[in-house]
Structure 1
């Protein structure tokens, strides 16, 4: 997985330590939008699986999830650099992961896992996304260009794992964001294990398979969503969906075909999961209501913009259609 260019003279620094704790520092590109990362993980106001720290000189977040079968909590803190005239911006990130129950090399938590952790941190921050190339390519567009300039450096923050992104997309099908957040919270409470930090972990496929459809229904899922979640978890557990391998190699066609074979997963869910779970920036999110509303406002229309027109409009921006959709989400926020 490649990384975005950092500041001159900056380089990543591994700080792995014995036992169950991994550490690293990563350089950030100029103008990195730390607030976008915090906003993405602030979706649930009850903060049962994520905890946001806004106060103090180093804002950041704590995020708990099941990683490699163990309860893990990643801590990210943004360190600022002075730009002059009292202005600062994030220049590097300090990341740490505490893995409950691990005791270092004896449990396989050596150099390989340290490297995996650095990749995980880069992934969560969207540092592999080549947004600079997109901005250069479309800066002169009469409608999108001004939006790109207002959102310079916009990246798409990632879920910690592809499984989280796909299952979150399933939970969010055909309901409002607030309803989806509440449903996600109830799923975590029903299935998630507690990390030593006090946060509940977002479950992995194996954890989800510890419950049945009735338990998911009791947590608020429809029968269709319960079936889709369990179908996804079974396909991951039996190797039909090698999500970790796909994250490294990004075979988009294989990902689409594999996910489409799961009952209850359709094109919108796949494109959203590709964006939030794999960092793929070309899925067409024309079915997303917020994207269509953003396009309506960008075009200055009084009437809604339909899916077909949105799909056609986004097509001109391949291979960046999902990144354009992310910019259109900000039009909704500004509207």
Structure 2
């Protein structure tokens, strides 16, 4: 059943009760170095490559029950097929079709998660719908701090991506696998990226261009553990990167990047510890999170921003 309606140049998306636009804006605003969208006066502006077009949209919330998607510039003449695809993209981006009632019921009585869901109620896992972008972001973020990861992403996007100009602002589009697959490693190293990361990104791009890896393949597997095994067979993708991608792109609620330093620091912060908890302790703390590990992780991460 379609969960949006069209009113002239605006798509009106219905929202679940457990959604707070302001909380999601706060999360999206965590880095001033983000290059794939702009936020101004609680409105999100983003160019989305879809169906051979690149519509430019504004996403806003005028009441607690709806999101409004407004098409800007030449995007106003976009076909109904593209407009519907954009509506689906935004619903996936904000994970709007997930019922969080059972997550909140569990989390409210969990010692670690209780304060998180109280502080950030209505936050959704902001997704990365494009598999190549999700994999690249996971690889770029390996063993570096978040600030430098954003710097690398900006360099990568501005060198190899394309852009749309509107009202004096540039809206960047993430490079496609075809943009990267044939590049020499030195091209990526010139961005101050390690040789290994450069090789990993080119290798993933080549797999996707050759049809050996796609989002549909991972979705069709239909099983979190099998999808994880498929991803970790790829050079440069370990359990952390695989679970990050399964969480942010494939939307498996059981995805659990348990070795994530941010998760460890968030738990350390919540427990008032001087040292990060070991993996076996995190497993014990997470005993009640079954099938909601991804949301538990995302909410604990939120304490760090």
8 Å CA contact retained: 2:21, 2:122: no
State the partner residue of 1:75: 58
CA distance in 2, matches of 1:200, 1:219: 17
- State the 1:100 CA deviation: 7.8
Q: TM-score, normalised by structure 1?
A: 0.79
Matches of 1:71 and 1:203, distance apart in 2: 13
Unaligned runs of 5+ in 1: 4-10, 18-22, 81-89
**SS of the residue aligned with 1:279?**
coil
Out of 100, 119, 122, the position equivalent to 2:91 is 122
**1:26-66 deviation per Cα after TM superposition (whole angstroms, max 9, x unaligned):** 01223522234334443552454311112xxxx22112354
Kindly state the Cα deviation for residue 322 of structure 1 after the two structures are TM-superposed. Answer: 1.6
- Choose from 197, 209, 229 the match for 2:181: 209
SS of 1:278's equivalent in the other structure is: coil
Q: 1:206 to 1:252 in 2, by over 3 A?
A: farther
- 1:256 partnered with 2:228: yes
Q: What residue is the counterpart of 1:226 in the other structure?
A: 198
User: Which of 123, 131, 155 is the matching residue for 1:154?
Assistant: 123
Whether the 8 Å contact between 2:247 and 2:256 is mirrored in structure 1 is no
> Is 2:17 the counterpart of 1:12?
no
Contact 1:32 1:153 in 2 (8 A): yes
Match of 1:95 in 2: 69
Q: Counterpart of 2:286 in 1: which secondary structure?
A: helix
Contact 2:185/2:195 (8 A) holds in 1: yes
| Distance change in 2, residues 1:321/1:178 (3 Å) | same
- 5+ residue gaps in structure 2? none
Alignment partner of 1:320 out of 281, 292, 296: 292
Equivalences, count: 302
Tell me the SS of whatever aligns to 1:199. strand
Task: Output the TM-score relative to the length of structure 2.
Answer: 0.86
1:201 to partner: Cα distance: 1.1
SS of 2:295's equivalent in the other structure is helix
How far 1:223 sits from its partner (Å)? 1.1
1:244 Cα deviation from its structure 2 partner? 4.4
Residue 177 of structure 1 deviates from its aligned partner by 0.3
Separation of aligned partners in 2, 1:103 and 1:165: 30
Deviating more after overlay: 226-235 vs 61-70 = 61-70
Q: Is 1:169 matched up with 2:123?
A: no
Give the distance between the partners of 1:287 and 1:68, measured in 2 at CA. 37
Partner of 1:139: 108
Residues 253/97 of structure 1: CA separation in 2 closer, same or farther (3 Å cut): farther
